[in-house]
Structure 1
Amino acid sequence: MTDLGLPATILACLFDLDGVVTRTAAVHAAAWKETFDAFLRARDGDGFRPFDAHTDYDEYVDGLPRADGVRSFLASRGIELPDGDPGDPPDAPTVHGVGNRKNALVLEKIRTGGVEAYEGTIRYVGAARAQGLRTALVSSSANAHDVLRAIGAEDLFDVRIDGVVAAARALPGKPNPDTFLAAAADLGVTPERAAVFEDALAGMDAGRSGHFGYVVGLDRVGQADALYAHGADIVVRDLAELGAGATGAGERS
């Protein structure tokens, strides 16, 4: 697997969606900011402390299932809401209500702004498949199928474990490794024969705790040190860098 930059033992590649396959992480961060700022402004008035689309998003929200992201960020501000029900309207003062408000915003942003893929990742997935490796998409997003269809990438993945599948199977989300473990099992490989590709710190935690054979961190926002600290074996800025003679890649010593 020299030209893919993976150990020879790897038989399958498990890819996150937002920030790895598509440039939608920034869209999600913007939707979270709009949602949380409106909530905090209504609660605290004009003196509220805004949601930071970089530090707050990376630390409390990125990679988590939607409801967990709501709970995580609000807990960081000492706020607790009742869970409510998954079908709560977007204006409901519940965890699911806030999450549904965010989901409505992100879908509108995707509809109006479209979805853009990371071409380096698309080429890498194609190269991996050409060498006989199996591929899976692992995402907490309930909209993953629509996003893949929008970029014409449905056929690039043998298995998809997304928010819909995770809910149906009662799989806990990242930082738990369960969704990645399910993808590996569906592909017919053990965790040590699979590589995880993630940009979120929660995804690194999942790769490490799941004892996967190789964990690749995608540093899209300048957090290489944190990705290593959370379990990355190697960190690159883009998958085009991964492989023989790649520049910008640094493997953990």
Structure 2
Amino acid sequence: MNVAVRRQDRSGWIRQYHEPAAGGPTLVCFPHAGGSAASYFRLSAELSQAAEVLIVQYPGRQDRMGEAAVEDVRELADRVCEALMPWREGALALFGHSMGSVVAYETGLRLQHGPVGRSPVGLIASGRTAPSVRRDRGLHRRDDAGIIAEMAELSGTDPALLNDAEMLAVVIPPMRSDFRAVETYQSDPGTRLRCPITAYGGDADPHVSHDDLVRWGEHTASAFATRLFSGGHFYLQQGLSEVVAAVRKDLDGFRAGHLE
């Protein structure tokens, strides 16, 4: 998916697709394993009426195809924090889906303890077990056929792509690197954010249960809530309007200091 970029930082890590709302919070979105910034284009279009939506572009995909993928969640978070330096003012919230949830969490920890005092006001963690739960399904050790099978099972990939050998040759290497990053990651014991966390999930996700989402509550010293949506791992694609409404509600709650 090729879309016009309104603004990006010099490092290439941050994209902005739409004119932001005046006076709204900044929402930083982190893609799933194998995903690109463009995967949040529709969400950005809807939420930019209420927030300044920034989207992370990991190396190794789309216009960053020539760069080596980063295979460590903590290094990804370090690099994102550096890239966010130009956005120092106002409320900042984080949204991550699947692998993006733990990258967002580690980014939040760095912002919370960083020199610029830019603690996030809230984190929305979607489609992912809590940082304290290490779940290695061996995806990064699979051959190409095994990774294609995982893509098909999760129903987040255009079926036409699964039969396009040329495109798969481009997509699979960064996806394997992302799987390695997330499957070898586990948070340091006892780490918590000071801000609220909301955990989102699909009620038919084959790999992330409601109990898995509840474990995110262990990683905040503030308010916590879970929200279930109809659908599987990529419930966001089918239920965009419901997700947008929930995110807007949570952004308001983050800024007010409470969740409903």
TM range (shorter): 0.3 to 0.5
Q: TM-score, normalised by structure 1?
A: 0.35
Bigger share in helix: 1
Larger Rg: 1
Q: TM-score, normalised by structure 2?
A: 0.35
